[in-house]
Amino acid sequence: MVEAALLIVLATFGVAVVVTSLVLWSCLVRVPPGAVVVISGRSHPAPPGADAPTLPFRVLTRGRALRIPILERADPLETQPRALRLELRDAYAADGEAPALEVAAMVRIGTDSPLLERAIERFLGRAPQEVATVAEQTLEGVLREVLSHLKVTQIREDVDKLSAYLGDDAAYDLEKLGLVVSDLRLTLA
């Protein structure tokens, strides 16, 4: 009788250990390469340099962490660079002509604290293609704005200067969205 009771206690203990291990394993969040994981659901102290003293999420840039079931949720956000290619044929310069331009850029989500916060607010839960679409639209808007102030002869004379100016303007606008331009090239088609 005692042996049967001991066997039941040991079996119950073994099942409890297995169930606890499975629950902890399912709550373990791992950060994949080229991404960050945002754990949201509770308030957390903000990192140094953040815009607010507390944030409704915490960000894992590497490693792993436990999330609290039911109270917290984990979402990945890709930070890998995306290659963007724009062909602009209907943007008019100051003299009324429409030069054919091609822009190639590498855009990624910024990993610095303020940039990452902005990107989380804007892109968390969205498909990576939406990030690329927003970046393309922003680049196209900046390019149209820059072209409207220049004549076609000025554009043809100094494409490198225009490319640098475009990169600075695009970087400013994309930083508002939490994005970073790592490379931008402009060519006449």
pLDDT digits (tens, 9 = 90+) for 133-183: 999 999 999 988 888 888 888 888 888 888 888 888 889 999 999 999 988
CA torsion through residues 147, 153, 159, 160, sign: negative
Cβ count near 22 (within 10 Å): 10
Kindly list the structural domains of the chain, giving each domain's residue range(s) and its CATH number in brackets, ordered by start. Answer: 2-78 (no CATH), 82-188 (3.30.479.30)
- DSSP conformation class of 98: -
Instruction: Give the closest residue to 103 by CA, choosing from 138, 154, 129.
Output: 138
Q: What is the pLDDT of residue 44?
A: 81
